[in-house]
Amino acid sequence: MKSGLHFLLAAKCCEIGELQQLTLTAELVDASARLVHELQRERGMSNLYLGSAGQRFGAERLAQVAQTAHAEHALRQHFDQLDTQATQLRQGARLFARIAYVLHGLAALPALRQQVARGAWLPAQATAAYTRLIAGLLAVIFEAADTASDPAISRLLVGFFNFMQSKELAGQERATGSALFASGHADDAGQQRLAYLIESQERALEVFAQFAPGEAVALWQRSDDPNTRAALERMRRMLCATVAGGALNPELSQRWFDTCTERMEAMKAVEDHLSKDLRAVCHQRREHLVQELQALDQVPTSVLPAGLDFFDATPDGSPSPGLPLGTQLQHSVLELVQAQAQRLQAMSAELDTTRASLNERKLVERAKGLLMAQRQLSEAQAHKTLRQLAMNQNRRLVDVAEAVLALADLTTGTVHPRTDAATHK
């Protein structure tokens, strides 16, 4: 008959297996982040190339394409290492579906580059195409964060994802502002888009600061150069404060692009730091569990406490000093059993709290998508609508998003998937 020690050993083995999967996930996130960065650079080079009608940045764009191809190859190798037979993987279906979408986009990337090389597309078309692929890669990281079963790793992944999201929004801001300056006049739609991107960046950075380690947050605060920030804010005011149709200085397009690029390069250094932290935590947690498992392997099952020893404990779960349990070895095994149960319970509670951030984001994104489809709104307009409703009703954004989805269920009979975000208020 199997003893409690058998199941304690099994629990440790399961944890080690989960951490092994998380180690692969951490490497996948790192490779995805590197490809996102290279695609962001390629998007910028392509915009400048198209904006100059193919007269400038041709060689730079080709060199960047080679860098992107190298990062793509590395990511594909990580995809190949994933266990696609892991049908019990949390959110596995969603993660694998996201990866399939990304691979489809990567297969279409050569055709996109040909369109850019021929000058067949406007900068806005190329920007939208690159942004769609980058969004797919960010979605892979988002789903990877939802598969984490260790609270420390889950928090790191949530912080990492939100920082990457902020950096991507900064890249879209770079493209939007470059187009406005290059056109020589302000445009209402472009200005609304810019305001949405600026606000969304700050919101993602707030979540990053909430979940990321203090060292990473401090690194970003040091990296966010005040001079670069001041120059960026001055040009932001020019873009946003100019009356629609008013004149903008086209000569500022290059300065704007360079300033945004400088900030994004600083963000890349923080991304690298977060990626290194993530892999280190996975390695440390796995090594610790392996040591615990090796120690338990040396314990014979015959030394496990029996009888009323189970009840001889203080209210906090520790063995009672007044009621002897037998040998010191019996003490240590019972403590291990109790500690394992308490730790898993604490991990579950902390994971619920961390995943609430991901769940709330899912609700807001679904509500935005619903408004965009029903009312033919842009993403910026849909977000503004939700924010306005939240302010008018003095409610949280996620509560308004859930109400929008619930109303759609009632009026159309469609059931929109729910998360448990509403339980974490």
Q: In 3-state terms, what secondary structure has residue 266?
A: helix
Domain boundary, last residue among 260, 287, 314: 287
267 and 343 together in one domain: no
In a domain, 58, yes or no: yes
- Where would I find the beta strands (DSSP E) of 86-237? none
Q: pLDDT, tens digit, for every residue of 371-398?
A: 887 888 887 788 888 888 887 787 888 7
259 and 355 together in one domain: no
- pTM, 2 dp: 0.72
Partners of 185 in the beta sheet? 247
Could you give the C-alpha distances from 209 to 93, 110, 308, in angstroms and in order?
A: 30, 37, 48
In a domain, 318, yes or no: no
Lowest mean pLDDT among 11-20, 148-157, 326-335, 372-381: 326-335
262 and 345 together in one domain: no
Distance CA 14, CA 11 (A): 5
In a domain, 296, yes or no: no
In a domain, 248, yes or no: yes
Instruction: Say how many domains are in the chain.
Output: 2
> What pLDDT is stored for residue 383 in this prediction?
80
Sequence letter at residue 213: P
Please give the average per-residue pLDDT across 355-359, as a whole number. 66
- At 136, list the tokens: 């797919």
Closest-CA residue to 183 (of 117, 124, 260) = 124
In a domain, 48, yes or no: yes
